Amino acid sequence: MILLRKIRVFSLFILSHYAVKFCIGGDVITASEYIQDPGSIISSGGLYRLGFFSPNGTTNRYVGIWHNKIPVFNVFWVANRENPVLDSSGVMTISDAGNLVILNGKKQVLWSTNVSTSGANAKAQLLDTGNLILQKQSSNMSTNDTTAWESFQIMCDTQIAKMKLSTNLRTNEKQVLTSWKSPSDPSIGSFSISLEPLNIPEVFLWNGTTLYWRSGPWNGKVFLGIPEMESVYVDRYTLVDDKEGYVYLTYSFAEVSYLSYFFVRSNGELLQPFWDENDKWWRIDWSTRASDCYVYGKCGPFGYCDAKKSPICSCLRGFEPKKVEEWSRGNWSSGCIQKSLLQCDRLKNGSTKAGKIDGFVKLENVKVPNYAIWLSPLEDKCREQCLSNCSCAAYAYDAGVGCMYWSGDLIDVQKFSYPGTTLYVRVAHTELEGKRDLRAIIAIAVVVATVIFSIGTFFAWQKSKKRGGKDGEQFSKASSENMLGGSLSKVNLQELVLYKLEELAAATSNFSDANKLGEGGFGAVYRGRLLNGKEIAVKRLSGASGQGLREFINEMEVISKVQHRNLVRLLGCCAEQDEKLLIYEFMPNKGLDAFLFDPLKREQLDWRRRFNIIDGICRGLLYLHRDSRLRIIHRDLKTSNILLDEELNPRISDFGTARIFGGKEDQADTLRVVGTYGYMAPEYAMEGRFSEKSDVFSFGVVLLEIVSGRQNTSFNEEDQSLSLLGHGNIGRKTMYLRWWTIKFLLDAPRLRS
């Protein structure tokens, strides 16, 4: 016993020695104090953390910076985004040349700051702003350390407070945001954000070299193409033109505790999330994809986009489609042309009588066209100066900018619901003379349409009343069953709410990627909030899935007939147009895999919680197999299908592939094997035979993952095994999880109750 105690003390000494080396716990990296995967450093105020991480869907390791006190993991800066560490041997340290570097296990440099300084007196420090700086320490106590490099100068896909989106007017050098290639690959993607000074500064979003979206001109307070900006961040954004030729855009928040940032997704969406402390979730303040009109030049030259109209594109007044057939088919890229020649054009054509002077038609609440030219600070001079210039096609006035005018094509005009800018478009006088007649025609048409609509509504109401049908709060069972080809006869619809598609679209911000919780083989799952404040999870059947309809019907049939505290609860469904959706209770902690395989979240799973999760899964399976009025085989039990509620209680989910057994039926065969390899029992994967034992086998894999904290498919070739099962060598004398190993795991500090 004494010898064993000495060995433990010696082991603790060795561990503490290496902990100083690579688990610093401070905010500084030096040549002697480095971080080694999975080590990290934390800013002095505890706001930010720098460390190794793996994006979802890959085992590659990167060094990044993220919010330390936020439970939802989100990285806003990545160092080695183009060169990941392929295993867990990575180290971040100061090189002999004084650079901050990332090395792999072979001591190869995968990333470097590439600045010239001295290694002996260089240090890297993570500040409470989220900025990582490399400093040359001064030997003179009276002289401050000099900053040789900072992460804020090498932006990734995110701009946090005090970062600068900049352009050098002298060299045209730009600090830009660049998207990830995909959600699992931080390398540089197709989309980028830049500040374009132009005549009046704007922010451009590029898809490669093609302009994809623009902010509209800066007026000293907001961008005119983002009307929501007034309510979202008021005076917190600042555009600075410094003496060194830099123009940069930065922002800060008066409320220090307010957390928000701007970032560009790999799909090209620019958005601003903010942290909701009450819900413990990132919510969306603003997004470029708030409407279908966000894409640059959607309606071509002299066209304008209005998301509330159908079709969304129209020609400006006084203009008509350039290519009528293409326009009618929904291809609006060719835009519109003037119906009548302007006075200047008539004079150019040699007309002896130019006729009356041109006028202007007013279009209110719009995003003004691209490439505005500053004209005058005086509003009353705008019209006069535009009329006197034959190249002036339109003008607008903003108190922060003054007079703006446009020559050539008017591109990217968008109609807003919010208050926007008023645009005055130049047209021939003949286009103004018919104004009264047009108004009269519109008035008559509105009256006639109202009468017809009223009569039609009355007869429809009478017909509905005779049939005893319900009004439009929900779909009727008959209509939903018709949508699904009569497949709902086995579904207990009395206990399900039948939702409208427009209600679910509003709840999920039109199925925005920002609300996406995850994606599987048959579609994506979105977080939503109904008008009554209730949070839901919406499973949307993928239109590209050929097998998805079968799973949709099957899931409704199975889960509408069972109810247990360890099974996810189905609230309702929607079958409208071509959409098939299932609505579940919202699980705030997502899947068990999000905790088990996350280096930060896994710390929340002590042994007592893991045991409770195992116990809950067992109870749910026992109910499905023995205690419910039906015998149900799940067939796809895995950690990602175990959801966790706010108290980390498990709920088995995703019954799309489940099978109901008859009273005497205990196994079945199928030619259509569905599920996830690595979790499937051998007889099911190879022969298509499944039973209760198939679920028990899958549960065994989940159990190993919960106890070991390792993913079944996370082993590499050096492990000489393709899965956790192979590594465990189950059923053999050389079994990996021997008693002493399990005892070690249960005695580990993070699992000790």
- From the list 360, 349, 346, 310, the residue with the least C-alpha distance to 330 is 310
The one-character DSSP state at 498 is E
CA separation for the pair 431, 489 (Å, rounded):
60
The DSSP call for residue 218 is B
Question: 580 labelled as ligand-binding?
Answer: no
- The residue length of the chain stands at 753
Concatenate the DSSP letters of all residues of 109-137 into one string: EEEE------GGGEEEEE-TTS-EEEEE-
Q: How many CB atoms lie within 10 A of CB 581?
A: 22
Active-site choice (358, 398, 593, 636): 636
Backbone torsion region of residue 531, taken as left when φ is above 0, otherwise alpha when ψ lies between -120 and 50, otherwise beta: alpha
**636 an active-site residue?**
yes
Query: Is-contact 65 132, C-beta < 8 A?
Result: yes
Cα–Cα separations (whole angstroms), residue 171 to 168, 174, 242, 371: 6, 9, 14, 21
DSSP string computed for 163-186: --EEEETTT--B--EEEEEETTEE
Whether the CB-CB separation of 404 and 375 falls below 8 Å is answered with: yes
Residue 178's Cα: distance from chain center in Å? Answer: 15
Q: Tokens 């945001």 correspond to what residue?
A: 177
What is the C-alpha separation between 420 and 423, in angstroms, rounded? 9
Residue 351 to residue 428: CA distance in whole angstroms: 15
Q: How many CA atoms lie within 13 A of 215 on its CB side?
A: 24
Q: Using an 8 Å Cβ cutoff, are 123 and 137 in contact?
A: yes
The closest alpha carbon to 433, from 353, 340, 344, 347, belongs to 340
Catalytic residues: 636
List binding-site positions for ATP.
539
Q: Could you tell me which residues are annotated as the binding site?
A: 539
